Structures are given as C-alpha cells and as structure tokens.
Amino acid sequence: MSNLLFTQPFFKKNGRAVAIYFLVAIIFWFVFLVIIPQLYMLDLSFRSNVPPLARGGPRDFYTFEHYQHFVFGSKSSIDAFNFVALGVFGRTIIVSIFVTIANLAFCYPIAFYIAKIANPSTARLLIVSLIIPFWINELLRSFALRILFANEGVINNVLTGIGIIDQGILFITYDVGLYTGLIYAYILLMMFPLYNAIESLDVNQIEAAKDLGSSTIRTHWRIVIPHAKPGIVSGCTMVFMLTVGALATPVVLSSPNTLWFPQLIYQWFNMNDNWSRGAAYSIILLVVSVIFVLTMMKLFRVRIGEIAR
Amino acid sequence: MKPSHTINFMIGLYIVIFFTYLFGPLLIMSVTAFNSAEFPAITPWECFSFRWFSEGKIAYDGQHLAGLLSDRRLHDGLVSSLIIGTGVVLLAVPIGMAAAIVLTQVRSQLRDVYYSISIMPVLFPGVIIGISTVVLWDRIAGLGGEGLVAEFGRNGIFLTILAQTCFISTYCFLIFVARLQRFDQTQEEAALDLGATQTQVFFKILVPYLMPAIASAAVIAFLASFENYNTTVFSILSDQTLTTVIASKVRLGISPALSALALSIIALTIIAAVTYEVLRRREEKRYVASQEKFVKEEAADSRVDKDYKAGFRIPKGIVAVILLIILCSYGATQIVKNDLYGQSCIDAADKIKRAKFFDQLQTLESNQLTDEELQGGDLGGNQDYGDIFGDPNLFKDFGGFD
Amino acid sequence: MSADVELRNVSVMFGSFYAARNVSVKINGGEFFSFLGPSGCGKTTLLRAISGFQDPSEGDILIDNKDMSGIGPNKRPTSLIFQNLALFPLMSVADNIVFSLEVKGVSKKDRRKRADELLELIALAGQGDKKVHQLSGGQKQRVAIARALAIEPQVLLLDEPLSALDLKLRQRMRTELREIQKRVNITFIYITHDQGEALTMSDRIAVMNEGELQQIGACAEVYNNPLTPFVATFVGENNPLYGKVKEINGSKVRIETSDGDFISTINENAKLSVGDDAISFVRPESLFIESDRDHFDNKIIATIESFEFEGNLKNFYASLKSGLKIRFSVPNALDTSSISSGTQIILGFESSKSVILPKAALAID
C-alpha cells in the first residue's frame, strides 16, 4: 500500500514517531476539518428543520424543501417564485462579476506600470504602499468608507458645506457605498497575481512588438495579456469568490433594502434558527463557487496551482 | 519602455488617483479619531480631543459611546481573539508542515491530486467553513450527551479554532512548500549515512532548516486568525472576538472610537513593519560584511567592487512627510487659535447639542416624522428587511443603558 | 579498521532499465579501489547500493563478510562523501565533523576533543566555529572527509568528490586523499569519470560501461592490457586500426588493414580466430617518428594535419593513407622543427605496445 502512494516506504522513511505525527495531522485536517463538516452540512441541507433534541427522531426526515424554498418560496406566498431570495442571489452574482471586471480594469494599468515601467526603487515603494492598507482589517476599511459615504458622512458634509448640494446624497441607500467597498476590498488579490504574471514577461517582447509597428493596444492585447493569463485567471477567481462570499463589507456598507447572499445565509442561521435552510443556502453558495472556479480553469486552461498568497 | 510624455502624465495621474482611493478613506478615518463629535466627521470640526481613545462619552440622549480604553466588550473580544489566534497557530503550523513534507514524499502521479486537496479549503467561502464546523459539532455535542464533548461542541472559542485551522493550515502549507522546494535532499542522506535515525534526521536537519518557515507561518497564521470575520462570525456562537465586536458596532452605533481603533492598528502595523525592515537591513548588512571579510581573506589583492551602500538611504517619501508636517502644523495652529480643544470646548458643544436634542424630542412627540427622516444610516440601525442587525427606534430607549 | 566489500551478481533495475547488471567484484580491505566510467555507466548506482540507499534488485552485497541486505545506510559500517559534499549549512564546521558522534549520544566534551583532533588532521585547526559557507572549496572538501572519518568507518565511499575543483587543487587533493587513506587504513571506494584521477590514486580500478563491468585490475594492467575496445579507448588515448585477422602465432597476431599489415599482441583472455574483424590499438605515446637508428616491428605512413602544444607533450594529429585519423605525442624536449602540416612521416611502434581485440564499440568521446 505504501509503495502505491509514496516514493519510499512511508514509515521507514520517516521513523515511526514522525510518521505517526504526519498521518495524524493530515488525516485530522483533511477528514475532520475539511471533508466531514462539508458532508454533514450537505446532509443537513436535505433534512427538515427540527430542534436539536428531535434530531434522529421521527420528525427528522429527508426533504428537498429547503432548496424548493430557495427557488419557489414558501407555500403560503402568492408569488410564483421566491423573488426575494432569487433576487438577492442573482444580484450577488451579477454584481460580483461586475466588481471582478472593474477590479481587473483598475488593477491592470497599475500592475503593468509597477512590473514594467517603474524603476526598481519606485516599484518597491509602490508595492509596499499597496500592501499597507490591507494590513487593516476589512471591517475597519469598510467603516472608513462608511464614514465617507454616510448621510452625515464626510463627503456629504463637505458637499453641503461648500454648497453644491442641499441634502445628503444617499450613497448607502443606493449601494454606491457597497460597490465601492467591494471593489476596494480585494484589490490586493487581483494586483499580486497580475503583477507576478506580467513581471515574468520579457520586456524585449514588448520592445520587439513596438519595433514591428504594433500599437500600444495591440501590444497589450496580443502579447502582454496572453502571457499574463494565469495571473488574470488567478486574480479574477479569487476576487469573484471572495466577493460572492463576502460578509464583512456588506455588513457594514449595505443598505437595508439590499442584501448580499451570505447575509441571507446569516439570517436563516442566526435570526430564524433554521439551520437546515441555512445549510441549503450555504451549499448553493458553495456550488456556485466551485462551478465558477472549475469553469475558469477549463475555459482558460489553467491548472489549480495558481493561488498566489 | 519609455512612453511619451502625455501617456506618462496620464499614468502618473491615474496612479495618484488610485492611491488616493486606497489611502484616502483611511487617512480621513484617522483624522476623525481626534474629533470629539459623536459621528466621525471632519467638518464640522467640534473639538480636538483624545477622548475616543480613552473614556468615550455619555451622549445627551443617554447613549453611552465607549472610548477604546473603556470599552469592555472590545477588551473581551481582544482576549478571545488572542486565545483563538494562539490555538490556531498551535494547530495550523504543525498541520501545514506535515502536509508540505508529505507532499515531497508522494508519488509524482498523485502529487497534483494531493496538492489540490490541500488547496481546497482556501477555495471555500469562509462562511461555509464556519457554518459546517458549527453544524457538525452541534450534532457531535448532541450525540455526546452531557459530558465534556457537549461542552466543547458548543464552545465558540473551540469551534472557531477548528474552523479557522481548516483554511489557515493551507496558508501554512503553502509557506512550507515554498521553503521545502529549495531543500537539499542529500543532506538528509548524509545524516543517515553518518548514523542518524530517521527521527534524528527530522529533528536535527529538517526542522532547523524549516525554522524560518515555521516562524513566518506562525506569524501569518496568527494574523489571518486575528483579522478573520466571515468564518468567525458563525463559529463564535455566544462569544465575541475583536472583529465581531467591531462588526456589531454597525448595530450599536458608529462612533469615532472605531476611528481611534483603526488608527491604533495602523500605527502598530507601521511600527511593526518599520522594525521588521530595520532588523532585516541590519541582518543583511551583517551577512554582506562577513562575506566581504571572507573574500578579502581568500584573495589577497582582488578588487571587490561593490556599490552596495551600507548606509541609510533617504527615501523620496521625505517630501510627503514634510507636506504632512506642514498640514498638521497648520491644523494645530487653527485649532489653538479657535480654542477648539480641551474640556471647555467639549462642555460647550454638549450644551448646544443637549438643547437641540430636547427640541427635537418635543417635535417628535407632537408631530409624526416620516420614516425617511428617522432613518439615516449613520448612527446605525438598518430598520427593514428582517432587522438583521437592526435595532429599531434607537430613541425609544434613551435614559441610559449600558 | 578496514573491511572487504564484495558484490555478488548485483543488478539494480529501475522498472525494466538496468542501471547495473550482474556486477561481481571483490574489493580488499585497505585497498584504494576506483570505479571508472562515463556518466550513466552505473557507478553511482553501485555506490549507493553499497552504502545502503539503494536496494539491489538482484544479488548480494557483503561488507566484512556480512550480508547487508535489509540493513539501512545508518547501520552500515560505511561513510559516503557526496558529490555536492552535503555539508550541513546551519551547523558550524566542528558540529558538522562530529555529527556522527552527536547522533550516537557522545558527550559534548568528548565530541569537542574529537573535533579538535580531526581539525588537526585536515589542517584546519582552530577553525571549528566557522560556518560552512565561509570556507573555500578545498577546505569544504576536507571537512567532508573529516566528517566521514569521524566515526571510523570500515569503508569510505567517495562520489566524484573532486569534480568541482580547479585543476591545481584537484591534483593536490589527489595526493592528499591517497595519503589520508594510507594513514587511516580504510577501504576507499572511489568513483570518477576522470581516468587520470583513477589511475594516479587507485590500487585497482574497475571500468564500467552501461551498467556492466568491463574490466577489473591494477592500473598498469588495465592501461597496458585492455580487455575490450571500450576500455582501450576510455582509459587514456588510443589509436584504433581496423582490419581482419590474417595470422595467429601464439601471442602475436597479424592484422591486415587498408593501411598495411601490423603485428600486435593478444591478451590471453581475448578470443580471436583467423578472419575475424579486429581492432589493433596503439597509444599515442607508443608511436615514434622513425629515424635510421630505430628498428620497429611495425611501420605506418602518415601525413601531419595539425599539432597541439600541451606543455610537457606535443600532440600531433595525422591522417593515414586510408583516411583514418591518428594522433601521436612526443615529449616537449624532442626537437620537431622539421615537421609541419602536410609533412609525410613514417611512424613506428612495437608489437608489444600494440594490443589487438575483437571488434566492438569504442568509448565515444
């Protein structure tokens, strides 16, 4: 068995004590912390919602009701579909895509500049400057934005003070705050894969293209971007997934009328105490993430070893 | 690459805007920490004070807004965060190390699969990991009856440590994998050949080599655990960590204490980063010096031309720093001139606000103000949609609580 | 204390590929023995098999007459010096050297003493606290040797240890290694692709190619009486003359080539019959420019093409009537001013200095 999995017999190579430590650590991690919880959550999502004491008893049975509820709403509602939940879900995904693309568009010029144009000391300074804001917790950064965008916030105060407007603009209510916050939150995760990918491109290729008469746009489109493809895919994947699953920023910046999908999960879980339904919604979120990652990998033919942390 | 001047200018402008966007909110937030007004603001500037760092205040409407030093919930949260962080480090670093070492021992065909499984936790949304841990252990606790198992299964700190370890182990794994890639396997063979047992090879050769990775993994693990929210908010159950306390302020009220907290963290981070950089430079200098000495010893009159400046470089950022100092001095003189600081200022402001508040209360009781005007989105309170974090009608409970 | 090392029909296979095939050799205790061959010939594989890092697929390995199968490298009485030395970068020089004592649990005081002894031995006294990266190439070599000798093994295995050094250092180290070996009286098993190294240092050498043993013997024996064309051309330079066997007369054989007939000596182990394809070999230093006073068994007419000054030798490259290229060398002291490119000369060589072998593959340069 050992020789099937390992290049050398496992226990002989590591000595007994260390081998046991390895096995225990890895099995504990993979099985107990990663796989079993997910399996259990999957199982829970198919069960009816019963209080802990009644679990395992007659009232605990398997059902699709939670998934049905997601799509169709409760039995007592008049609407054909569960527009609220579906709406939140749809909006979350669409906005996340928009945020990802915006993120990419904003970061690309900077990444290119730092990787190829700036001289080394400037580049170093810029990189450090990029990292500093992200040492601050995502929540606090979102609060900073909230302070700016609130009805009595800094922006509104300045604008009314100068006299441009009379009443505060409802940034938060109209989700401007939320979108700004989401784009802000994960810039680093887009910037670094992009930077690494572009950096590895040989400058001579760009020069050669220019020599041959290629315009700037064409150079980027045909040479830089294909080379940076793994970085782009990596960045987009991470940003999309983190945005779709974001909780901290929406908590702080979303208005009462707009929910982010994880907030919905939170609601089912902690406010309505319906763990099964929360589990079902979580599975839906997980499936979306996995599908997205796999699609990106397939579409752009990138392998899984692309995480650059 | 030397683009034309207009493009250069455009790029420069873009970069300035970009970094303003990045740093602006944080700078503004930092400034608001010193304004005694109840909602973080720069204008109107009430009074310059340090109160959000220490005692906070009791508002004219009886609402207590705690400052950093007096916020007990914050302190409890901080302690929990430290405990959880330590726990996570103690678990995730050994797990990551084990996983990385085993990666080097697995057959090449299996290596991809193994690596993918190890990366997986980072691809799960954090909320999923938190939820799945909670539901699983809730079930385990249910099955375990009354004893220790039930205790643990419902303990927020225990669950959070487990949930965070799930994906933080991956971070540690990646750090160890990177370090192991440059490991010279023949050292292990040499040690064996000299008579060491396998266990001795591990402890005397491999672990010392991995020490830097262990250190950075521990630091990364701790920081990642400390600042985590998505997973923690589900697994923490009835306890609180620093981040959940911060998040709850959306409901309880945003005050400049938050800005004070942010500024403190920023300051700490910058100090830590500068210290690290200084230490690193010093270490580098020492290494270079020893190399130079060695080279000079070896070759009598070889000319070693190193343009390595071992001195302290003056960074170009000095311009920005000078600008900052000028701005601060201007602000400071303005404040002093208009007497905008000190307790007297605060008392005066309070009196005005108290008067205004009672007027408002009377108007409220006599007329019916519309919902629009009651909402505001600033002192907190998301009213609609299930009251997720909402606490309707803040004004109802005036008269002192907490 | 030294030990005999014996390999009995040892084969090492990776999948269906034979890295070493059916190797049998008996190395005597206290001997300086070298495995010589080109890269990929299997010598490293054998070394690793002897030291315990590689289990032989077939055959047995005995050290001091004890079967080593199943015994790991940490339990064998062998010490291996790796090609990249594999010194421990995080430990000091002294700690490196006495590592084998540390893992056995020897006390710090005793270790210190032994470290000082060994540092004396390798002429690095007082430098025990330095870190490995502060040493020069030659110094690192010596530390590696000291480290391997600390535990007083019965067999020392050396994997091309001098390949990374420059020429002068390499020559010096050759002498040093030999002296160390004589002093500590340990069996040295040395592998290299440099035949100059093997010849100057060893008592006996084994020539290998593609996993198989071609010849074992004392250095002079292997050089003067190669058993196969591979050995003839790998060990030292050699000129091959292709032809057919015309006549056999005891140990003398006449070969017929397109450049004339020659008489060569046949090795008693070689098997040749009249009419066989054969190669007659003559070394560059055995070809002499004929003068009136000489009388050689064999003569050959050659046209000079080019010339190379190597310092103590002058190497001439010439072509024969058939187009075959040969080379011959002449001591620098000899006057060769009359010879230049295009000159036609007559070279002579003794039949006793020419070996004839059945035709087979040569060592490719």
| Domain count of the fold of chain B | 2
Determine the distance in angstroms separating the CA of A15 from the nearest CA of chain B, rounded to an integer.
Answer: 5
Give the model confidence (pLDDT) of B46-62 as tens digits. 666 666 677 666 655 65
| Cβ proximity of C355 and C338 under 8 Å | no
- Establish if B174 touches chain C: CB-CB under 8 angstroms: no
Considering the domain boundaries, does residue A67 fall inside one?
no
| Least confident among A209-223, B204-218, C55-69, C132-146 | A209-223
- For residue B296, the model assigns a pLDDT of 64
Contacts of C155 (CB under 8 A, 6+ apart): C2, C3, C5, C50, C63, C77, C78, C79, C186, C187, C188, C189
Can you give the residue range of the structural domain that contains B328? 314-345
Considering the domain boundaries, does residue A113 fall inside one?
yes
Give the model confidence (pLDDT) of C285-312 as tens digits. 988 888 777 788 888 888 999 988 988 9
- The arithmetic mean of pLDDT across residues C169-191, rounded, is 88
| Cβ proximity of C143 and C173 under 8 Å | no
Give the model confidence (pLDDT) of B22-47 as tens digits. 888 888 887 777 776 767 666 666 66
CA distance B253 to B395: 12
- For residue A27, the model assigns a pLDDT of 92
CB atoms C74 and B192 under 8 Å: yes
Beta strand ranges found along C313-358 (DSSP E): 313-320, 325-331, 344-349, 354-358
Q: How far is it between the farthest Cα atoms of chain C? A: 76
The stretches of B299-370 forming alpha helices (DSSP H) are: 318-337, 342-366
User: Which of A23, A29, A249 is the best residue to mutate to test the B interface, defined by the most B CB atoms within 10 Å of its own CB?
Assistant: A29
Give the model confidence (pLDDT) of B164-187 as tens digits. 999 999 999 999 999 999 898 899
B247 contacts in chain A (CB < 8 Å): 139, 248, 251-252
CATH number of domain containing A253: 1.10.3720.10
Considering the domain boundaries, does residue B270 fall inside one?
no
- The arithmetic mean of pLDDT across residues B391-396, rounded, is 39
CA distance C300 to A292: 80
Considering the domain boundaries, does residue B16 fall inside one?
no
Chain B: residue nearest C157 by CA?
B193
B193 contacts in chain C (CB < 8 Å): 51-53, 73-74, 78-80
Considering the domain boundaries, does residue A46 fall inside one?
no
| Least confident among B179-183, B391-395, C185-189 | B391-395
CATH number of domain containing B125: 1.10.3720.10
- Establish if B125 touches chain A: CB-CB under 8 angstroms: yes
- For residue B210, the model assigns a pLDDT of 94
State the complex-level ipTM.
0.82
CB atoms B384 and A13 under 8 Å: no
CA distance B134 to B127: 11
* pTM, entire model: 0.80
CA distance A253 to A138: 12
Residue B298 pLDDT more than 70?
Answer: no
- The arithmetic mean of pLDDT across residues A75-103, rounded, is 80
Give the model confidence (pLDDT) of C253-278 as tens digits. 888 888 888 888 888 777 888 888 88
* Residue B168 or A208, more confident: B168
Residues, chain C: 365
Considering the domain boundaries, does residue A184 fall inside one?
yes
Contacts of C157 (CB under 8 A, 6+ apart): C47, C50, C51, C78, C79, C80, C81, C189
Percent of chain C with pLDDT over 90: 35
Domain boundary among B254, B283, B304: B254
Considering the domain boundaries, does residue B41 fall inside one?
no
Strands C354-358 and C277-282: antiparallel
Say if residue B127 is in the same domain as residue B209: yes
| Cβ proximity of A118 and A195 under 8 Å | no
Tell me the pLDDT band of C187, cut-offs 50, 70 and 90.
very high
Positive or negative, the Cα torsion across A276, A278, A284, A285?
negative
| Domain count of the fold of chain A | 1
**From the list B189, B190, B195, which residue is nearest C104 (CB)?**
B195
Say if residue B213 is in the same domain as residue B327: no
Give the model confidence (pLDDT) of A117-150 as tens digits. 777 777 877 887 787 777 778 888 888 888 777 7
Q: What letter represents residue A241's amino acid?
A: M
CA B111 from centre of chain = 34
CA distance A53 to B139: 10
* Structure tokens that stand for C320 in this block: 């024969």
A237 CB-contact burial (10 Å; exposed 0-12 / middle 13-18 / buried 19+): buried
Q: Degrees (nearest 5) of the Cα angle C212, C214, C215?
A: 135
- For residue A140, the model assigns a pLDDT of 83
Say if residue B334 is in the same domain as residue B225: no
Considering the domain boundaries, does residue A221 fall inside one?
yes
Tell me the pLDDT band of B308, cut-offs 50, 70 and 90.
very low
Strands C288-289 and C277-282: unpaired
Structural domains of chain C, ranges and CATH numbers in brackets = 5-224 (3.40.50.300), 229-358 (2.40.50.140)
Determine the distance in angstroms separating the CA of C49 from the nearest CA of chain B, rounded to an integer.
Answer: 12
Domain boundary among B254, B278, B302: B254
**From the list A136, A150, A251, which residue is nearest B26 (CB)?**
A136
Percent of chain A with pLDDT over 90: 4
Q: Which SS3 state, helix, strand or coil, does residue C306 take?
A: strand
Say if residue B187 is in the same domain as residue B328: no
Determine the distance in angstroms separating the CA of B282 from the nearest CA of chain C, rounded to an integer.
Answer: 19
Say if residue B193 is in the same domain as residue B336: no
User: Which of A18, A142, A160, A167 is the best residue to mutate to test the B interface, defined by the most B CB atoms within 10 Å of its own CB?
Assistant: A18
Chain B: residue nearest A153 by CA?
B41
- For residue B336, the model assigns a pLDDT of 66
CB atoms B112 and A152 under 8 Å: no
Say if residue B146 is in the same domain as residue B239: yes
- The arithmetic mean of pLDDT across residues A104-115, rounded, is 85
> What average pLDDT does chain C have?
89
Can you give the residue range of the structural domain that contains A257? 86-300
Determine the distance in angstroms separating the CA of C93 from the nearest CA of chain B, rounded to an integer.
Answer: 15
**From the list B186, B194, B290, which residue is nearest C103 (CB)?**
B194
C87 contacts in chain B (CB < 8 Å): 190
| Cβ proximity of C326 and C302 under 8 Å | yes
Give the model confidence (pLDDT) of C88-137 as tens digits. 998 999 999 999 999 988 899 999 999 998 888 888 888 888 888 888 88
**From the list B195, B200, B294, which residue is nearest C151 (CB)?**
B195
Percent of chain B with pLDDT over 70: 69
Q: What is the DSSP letter of B48?
A: B
Contacts of A254 (CB under 8 A, 6+ apart): A172, A175, A178, A260, A263, B382
Pseudo-torsion of CA C149, C153, C154, C159, nearest 10°?
-60
C73 contacts in chain B (CB < 8 Å): 189, 192-193
